[in-house]
Structure 1
Amino acid sequence: MYESIFNKQKQFFQTKDTMSLDVRIKALKQLKDAIRFYEDDLMFAMRADFNKNESDAFLTEIGIVYSEINFHLKNLADWAEPVNVKTPVTHFGSKSTIYKEPYGVTLIISPWNYPFNLAIAPLVGALSAGNTAILKPSEHTPHVSEVITKVIELAFPEKYVASIEGGIETNQQLLSLPFDYIFYTGSSHVGKIVMEAASKNLTPVTLELGGKSPSIVTKDANLKYAAKRIVWGKFMNAGQTCVATDYIYVDNSVKDQLIKHLKHYTHKFYNKEFEQQNYMQIINDDHFERVHNYIQGDIAYGGRSHKSRRMIEPTIIQNADFSHPAMEEEIFGPVLPVLGYDNLEKAMIDIRDLPDPLALYIFTENDKTAQHVIKSIPFGGGAINDTMYHLATPHLPFGGRGNSGMGKYHGRYSFDTFSHSKSILKQTTLFDIPLRYPTYRKFQKLLKYIWK
């Protein structure tokens, strides 16, 4: 069913039109214009799908995409230039150059939690690098997916970029096609399925997954700022953010003080929204039940819900441990367990015993402690004395490792992800060095001297 679209894009890519810098710049501008045209529709769609308000919709979805497009438009000409690199003395007379070339027809499968941002941001990289793209938006946010399709149809012919809506069967049909690159954002479970399907055609992949991302709070941390920034990052988007703090691991000597601040800022930021039933919804009934089941134990704040509205109050669970149900998997909802530790080294061992998280946040006033934690625990990326802000800069690569994913994107790293680095050595014909030929035995001592 979708093979005809794939073939159209394959044929169009082979014309080499997408490799033109002018065509790429024009494509990015067309995308931006189409988003502007449907901006109000996008905001309405996000409200319809999971009650996302206009301010959050612009800040975390639309505005960040505009910023990404602008960054690519500003820097694309430099990124696309061939790069000359050093050549060793053993290659005297030759020059080494790296060329960036697009992969071809790409597939982008996006999730529901940031349905516009996480669909279009990778597309910006694909277009910037000179590829064509088939976009598969999430079926769990049907209103947003419908508008995404309208944006794509307004901006591009099907042979260049296409948006295909549908459920699991659609994903399966698309994954059976021999794409040149696949970019997937979502759960680790589905990520394994995507990677298995890609392996049949030896298709390279980027997998942006998730995991249990901790916030470590030491006894010398600024507890007020730690609480304020953790609460903001955790309960934004109803906790449905892959890099949100999944749990707090705090020094027991300051745990009670931290919880006091957590309660204060949770109430300040989100109580009114929840009371007025204006808080963001959990995406569907199954996820509502899953997250709601985590609300047990010593509840320090929250715990209420509106089932008919799929709305869960931001909830803080104190005195939790690794046996708590909320610690069994990524929560992906507005429930925040707080665990205490007596020894930071032991706490780091506990974290390393879990699968590699996508993000880690360390709150401390001691830079040596921060550096020790960063260097001792494997994770995708993170921040010192903050949460989530690292993913909003185009100058830092965003991506996971191990169970939290592979590959990276944002800014220049999106361009590089969707580009193949073609290495070329240009040899001189003015002379010829005999060391490489079967007579090299004569020069064995010289070679040993050079290479040692």
Structure 2
Amino acid sequence: MSREQKAVDRARKAFSTGRSKPLEYRLQQLKSLRRLFVERQKDIADAMMKDLRKSEFSTPLYETMGLEGEIDLAVSHLKEWAAPRPVAKNLMTISDQVYVQPEPLGVVLIIGAWNYPWAVTIQPLIGAMAAGNAAVVKPSEVSAHTAKVMEELLPLYVDKELYPVVTGGVAETQELLKQRFDHIFYTGNSVVGKVVMEAASRHLTPVTLELGGKSPCYIDKNCNISIACRRIAWGKFTNCGQTCIAPDYILCDPSIQDLVVEEIRQNVKEFYTENPKTCPDYGRIVNQRHYRRVMSMLDGCTVAVGGDGDESDCYIAPTVLCDVKPDAKVMQEEIFGPLLPILTVGSVDKAIDFINQREKPLALYIYSHDSKLIKRFISETSSGGVVANDCLVQFSVSALPFGGVGNSGMGAYHGKHTFDQLSHLRGCLIKQLKMEGVNKLRYPPHTAKKLGWARFLILKQVDLGQMKRLAMLAIFAVIAAAVYQRFLQ
């Protein structure tokens, strides 16, 4: 039996004991997980520095603070999330208990990504824990130092049988995908996403796929271009461009392209100094293979800002490309690096057409003062999410579902959305063995009269507010009848 199979079997046996289901145990595990990020900040930050050159300040800002917030949210609302959820009834079932009961799925496989290795691996784990599942955690081998720290630290804080960590590369991931899970949660690219989905289909396992894509960024020529470019520069060059929801390319009117370039140039200088290579807040490409992949995208492009790199240091300067053609190499796949292409379009119609002719992105950004224009982009395009006049910040809002559509993924998470995604929302109806007379409408022999009554009772939906009003009317009717009977006496 392989190491991977043993980990899955241990997790399933641990889940079968039922210990992950009581709310008290889930809360205890969540609170203990939170202590990890408080007590082991230095270990986490040191590993992130080695993997991606993330500074001591950027690691909590972009990785662990959000996880602490997610845990706090789950702890505060777990009782509410896990409670039965009453639903509307029809008149035929008005006296029955009808509700949705969230229940654990079982054993979840979480395959993390290397660019934000804590954030995108542990967020699903928080939801899995809150929902009462067991979970096998597979951190990305690309962020090797972080994977090692996760493997060492997680068992010290949470149930190591319910939540084992399996490290390794492609072979280990393939072995895990041979096992049967009750849900698979994968963050990464669409090529591997298809492999995950194919493997899951052998066991009819549901999947959540967070896949990214080329997120467009439209700048209206009449907006505050200075502020727009400042926010775009921050979103694009954070983590050296290795962010799944980073602005992948800019669409703008030809008349403002030079201004956009100049504004971003000034922002890069302000954020990362004249020499970003020596700036502690500017990261690195994760490895030399990805360095060569990103640098190859410069072929055939006009560099307006940056463009230089150092393979030995995995450094690529914040780079802006102008007058980019739609068929350029840099436009054929998600960049996942600090290259920002600018494509000019002569109208809003052409910008929308350009977006719609391509795969649906994980995020769509528009910068404009015109609320009607913003609404038009929302109504006439499709993407995992939309943000107007900013970028990246949607990831920090737990109340918003975070996920893709089409080629950018399926399923959504964050906050209660993770809990629901990793729960089975079980429909429950509890009827009493009495009032059998009402059921005669459904029993043979069938007649037109019975059908008429059944149509009325079944098709008449009663929401919770109506139920309360009907209950009050029923009580009033009983009281009135009692008073009337007393009067007759």
Same fold (TM over 0.5): yes
CA contact (8 A) 2:272 2:279 kept: no
Q: One-letter code of the match for 2:191?
A: H
Query: Could you tell me how far 1:293 is from its partner in structure 2?
Result: 1.4
Residue 169 (structure 1) aligns with: 171
Within 5 A, what are the aligned runs for 1:422-441? Answer: 422-432=426-436, 433=438, 434-441=440-447
1:285 paired with 2:285, answer no
Q: Equivalent residues in 2 for 1:16-415 (5 A)?
A: 16-272=18-274, 274-276=276-278, 278=280, 279-296=282-299, 297-415=301-419
Partner residue, 2:474: none
Q: Amino acid of the residue matched to residue 435 of structure 1?
A: L
Inter-partner Cα distance in structure 1 for 2:275 and 2:92: 68
Most deviating of 255-264 and 303-312: 255-264
Amino acid at match of 1:439: P
Report the CA distance between 1:300 and its aligned residue.
Answer: 1.3
Tell me how far 1:269 sits from its aligned partner: 1.1
SS of structure 2 residue aligned to 1:375? helix
Q: Distance in 2 between matches of 1:379 and 1:167?
A: 31
Partner secondary structure for residue 61 of structure 2: helix
Residue 444 (structure 1) aligned with residue 441 (structure 2): no
Residue by residue over 1:370-409, the C-alpha shift from the partner in whole angstroms, topping out at 9 and shown as x without a partner, is 0110111110012110001011111111000110000011
Deviation at 1:429, TM superposition (A): 2.9
Deviation sequence 1:208-248 (CA, Å, 0-9, x none): 11100001111222211110110000000000000000000
Q: CA contact under 8 A between 2:102 and 2:425: conserved in structure 1? A: yes
Q: Secondary structure at the match of 2:441?
A: helix
Mapped partners of 1:273, 1:80: distance in 2: 52
The CA distance in 2 between the partners of 1:34 and 1:343, in whole Å, is 51
Once the 2 structures are TM-superposed, how far is the Cα of residue 447 of structure 1 from its aligned partner? Answer: 4.1
- Cα 1:288–1:275 change in 2 (3 A) is closer
For 2:396 and 2:193, how far apart are their aligned partners in 1?
Answer: 23
> What is the TM-score when the length of structure 1 is the normalising length?
0.97
The SS at the match of 1:436 is coil
Question: Aligned AA for 2:99?
Answer: T
Q: Deviations over 1:126-146 (max 9, x none)?
A: 001001111000111111011
Q: Deviations over 1:354-380 (max 9, x none)?
A: 111000001111111101101111100
Q: Distance in 1 between matches of 2:262 and 2:231?
A: 14
Kept after mapping to 1: 8 A contact 2:107/2:134: yes
- Given that 1:101 and 1:419 are in contact with CA atoms closer than 8 Å, whether structure 2 keeps it comes out as yes
Identity of aligned residues (%): 38
Letter in 2 for 1:18: S
Letter in 2 for 1:415: F
Q: Is the 8 A contact 1:5 1:158 kept in 2?
A: no
Alpha-carbon spacing, 1:222–1:439, altered in 2? closer, same or farther (3 Å)? farther
**Residues 90 and 44 of structure 1, relative CA distance in 2, 3 Å threshold:** same
Instruction: Give 1:277 deviation, angstroms.
Output: 6.0
Equivalent position SS for 2:164: strand
Secondary structure of 1:32 counterpart? helix
- The separation in 2 between residues aligned to 1:382 and 1:392, in whole angstroms, is 14
Name the amino acid aligned to 1:444.
Answer: L
Whether the 8 Å contact between 1:214 and 1:361 is mirrored in structure 2 is yes
| Cα gap change, 1:382 to 1:273, in 2 (>3 Å) | farther
The Cα of 1:36 is off from its aligned counterpart by 2.5
SS at match of 1:320: coil
Tell me the TM-score normalized by structure 2: 0.90
Deviations 1:338-357 (A, max 9, x none): 11111111211111111110
Query: What is the SS of the residue equivalent to 1:17?
Result: coil
Specify the structure having the higher radius of gyration (Cα). Answer: 2
Instruction: Specify the code of the residue in structure 2 equivalent to 1:210.
Output: G
Amino acid paired to 2:298: I
The alpha carbon displacement at 1:304 in A equals 1.1
Q: In the alignment, is the contact (CA less than 8 A) between 1:97 and 1:423 conserved in 2?
A: yes
Aligned pairs, number: 452
**Aligned equivalents of 2:37, 2:153: Cα separation in 1:** 6
Report deviation, 1:448.
4.8
CA separation in 1, counterparts of 2:38 and 2:94? 53
Cα shift at 1:260: 2.0
**Structure 2 counterpart of 1:78, one-letter code:** E
Q: Residues of 1 paired with 2:34 and 2:151: CA distance?
A: 14
Q: What amino acid sits opposite 2:338 in the alignment? A: P
Residue matched to 2:483:
none
Residue type at the aligned position of 1:308 = S
Any idea what the Cα deviations from partners look like across 1:313-345, whole Å, max 9, x if unmatched? 000001112122110100000000011111111
Q: Quote the offset at 1:272 in angstroms.
A: 4.5
